[in-house]
Amino acid sequence: MAARWKIGFLIVGGVVVTIVAFLVVASVVVSRHVRDWAEEWMTREYNSKVELSAFRVAIPFPLVQCEAEDIVMHFRGRLDLPPLIAIRRFTMRTSLWDLIRRTRHIQYLQLEGLQINVPPREQRGGSDPAKSVKWKFGTVRFDQIVAQNAILKILTQKPGKDPLEFDIRDLRLKSGEQDGALDFVSALTNPKPPGEIVSTGSFGPWNPDTPSLTPVSGNYNFEKADLSVFPGIAGILSSTGSYQGVLEQIEVDGTTDTPDFRVARAGHSLDLSTTFHATVDGTDGDTYLKPVEAHFGQSVLVAQGSVEGTKGKKGKVITLDVTATRARIEDLLALAVAQSASMTGPIRLKTKLILVPGPKEIPDRLNLDGSFDLSSVHFTNGTVQQKIDNMSKRSQGKPNEIVDPVAAVKTDDVATEVKGNFRLNSGILSLSTLHFVVPGANVQLGGTYALDQQTIDLHGNVTMQAKVSQTTTGFKSFLLKFADPLFSKGGNGAVVPIKISGPVQHPQYGLELGRKKQASSETRQ
């Protein structure tokens, strides 16, 4: 019996001694070779030449802790490019067992001063360090990677364009389900407009041959973005969405909400929300919108186009094709003028929009070129609307039905049809082929509307159903019979030159007989 106990004790003791000896040997091997392993893994994983200025290993059994400083990885050994990855210091902790098995397992990795410069796809040449590395171990899995104040730059080879840069305030990663992929949670402060973006998703597997083709996907949440940093507008924006693609081209679907959006000159607050699909060029941040749907008030605008940088110029140019088939003129005026809307009614709109960068307010940097159609517009100013109603009655030859514009009693509210072409440049809206139709009259005008001063200067003709003498009564009507031939429209009705000018809230209407005489003289010549 005693002999059996001795044998068992010797066996157990031998096993313990063997394990201890193995661990001692493993510790020695790890302390001697962990730097080589780390360099070889980084070389193979990132296809780069790796440089380390210092590397220290401590083994407080059973843990292993490594520290390294000034880690630099040159993609394909290219010294003419910024380093693919640069790390001022990293600290790694794991267990001895996790480090020596085939699939390495890192429990904790802290990266300080992390900067990643992703080269564009076209950059080639240099040696290929990964090809000479022996397969000493397989994949590496991470429980936790932590980095603060990291910088990610996606370089571009487009002349004159700056690379897209992300300043990541806090970054947490861990190995995902797919080998080589990392699940991440990141927080970054967006510089303009200022606000915080929190994103979760998956990054990788890293593409060692073409880093810009590394997959990325996830969701984002952008809060408290102050739009007042852009001259001429204000409001606090929030946005949520998802994205997927590769670093050099990312597809984004999202929504934005700005409950207090306003244009400074107008000052009216609107609840502006959008839904969008966009393609982002990861090498320079150029964005291609297809499409954006904006909702505010009772209106919907649909736009598609681009937000692109220009060689040698700071900022990006927004170029959009905008259409509106479900919009209201009062909503659009709320964006442009300080007073309450002077008109109400549905509007159809189509325009080319170009917004150039610069320090001026948005209305001064905005260029528009398009057309509009208001099928049934009404004026909110009672006096103006009554003048329109009276013009309609006179044009139909019903002068007995007109009412004093300042009368307290409201008469029929005549719906007006307005359509035309427009251009906006430097805050001046130029109107051409403007058609203004009410029962009995067709007005054709052209001229300008100054957004800043909110004044109009329009000139044109009124084609009436009635003759001039039929627009009034009594002795005036008798006298105007002598003028009927001057304004005759083929014997039926009249064509009268008019002008409309002054503040948009209180415009002045009048005849422009001098232009009629000039036109007649030119016709005779």
Per-residue pLDDT of 416-425, as tens digits, reads: 778 888 888 8
Q: Which phi-psi region, left, alpha or beta, contains residue 469 (left: φ > 0; alpha: ψ -120 to 50)?
A: alpha
**C-beta neighbour count of 334 within 10 angstroms:** 23
Arithmetic mean of pLDDT, 443-458: 84
**DSSP secondary structure letters along 390-424:** HHHHHHTT-GGG---TT-SS------EEEEEEEEE
H or E element in which residue 83 lies: none
Arithmetic mean of pLDDT, 492-511: 80
More confident residue, 97 or 257: 257
How do beta strands 140-142 and 104-106 pair? parallel
Phi, psi of 99 (to 5 degrees): -90, -25
> Given a cut of 60, is residue 482 above it in pLDDT?
yes
> Given a cut of 60, is residue 32 above it in pLDDT?
no
More confident residue, 524 or 332: 332
Contacts of 484 (CB under 8 A, 6+ apart): 467, 468, 469, 494
Residue 122 counted as domain residue: no
Arithmetic mean of pLDDT, 184-203: 86
**C-beta neighbour count of 199 within 10 angstroms:** 21
Check if the beta carbon of residue 49 is closer than 8 Å to that of residue 129.
yes
* Token pair listed for 478: 């008798």
Check if the beta carbon of residue 441 is closer than 8 Å to that of residue 449.
no
* Rounded to 5°, angle at Cα 22 from 18 and 96: 135
* Token pair listed for 121: 């796809």
Arithmetic mean of pLDDT, 372-384: 76
Say how many residues make up the chain.
Answer: 525
Dist CA 147 CA 451 (whole Å): 50
Dist CA 339 CA 104 (whole Å): 69
Contacts of 18 (CB under 8 A, 6+ apart): none
How do beta strands 104-106 and 287-296 pair? unpaired
* Token pair listed for 486: 């001057």
Q: Coil, strand, or helix at residue 229?
A: helix
> Given a cut of 90, is residue 221 above it in pLDDT?
yes
Q: Where are the beta strands (DSSP E) in 266-365?
A: 270-281, 287-296, 299-309, 316-328, 343-344, 346-355
Q: What is the pLDDT of residue 135?
A: 35
What pLDDT, in 10s, does the model give residues 124-156?
444 444 444 333 334 778 888 898 888 888 877
The total domain count for the chain is 1
Give 34's pLDDT tier (boundaries 50, 70, 90).
low
Check if the beta carbon of residue 103 is closer than 8 Å to that of residue 95.
no
Q: What residues are paired with 261 via a beta bridge?
A: 270
Phi, psi of 255 (to 5 degrees): -135, 155
Dist CA 373 CA 53 (whole Å): 70
Residue 124 counted as domain residue: no
Q: What are the residue ranges of helices labelled H in 47-200?
A: 96-100
Residue 494 counted as domain residue: yes
H or E element in which residue 481 lies: none
* Token pair listed for 401: 């039905």
Residue percentage of the chain with pLDDT more than 90: 9
Amino acid in the structure at residue 25: V
User: Could you identify the residue written with the tokens 């001057």?
Assistant: 486
Residue 387 counted as domain residue: yes
Mean per-residue pLDDT of the chain: 77
**C-beta neighbour count of 482 within 10 angstroms:** 10
Q: How many helices (H) and strands (E) does the chain have?
A: 7, 29
- Of the candidates 440, 432, 482, 484, the one whose C-alpha atom is nearest the C-alpha of residue 462 is 440
Least confident segment among 35-39, 205-209, 513-517:
513-517
Residue 28 counted as domain residue: no
Omega before residue 291 within 30° of 0, cis: yes
Residue 393 counted as domain residue: yes
Q: Coil, strand, or helix at residue 264?
A: coil
How do beta strands 346-355 and 316-328 pair? antiparallel
Dist CA 495 CA 463 (whole Å): 4
Reported pTM = 0.74
Residue 385 counted as domain residue: yes
Q: Where are the beta strands (DSSP E) in 164-269?
A: 164-175, 182-191, 194-203, 215-226, 233-234, 236-246, 249-263
Residue 166 counted as domain residue: no
- Determine the structural domain holding residue 454 and report its residue range: 381-524
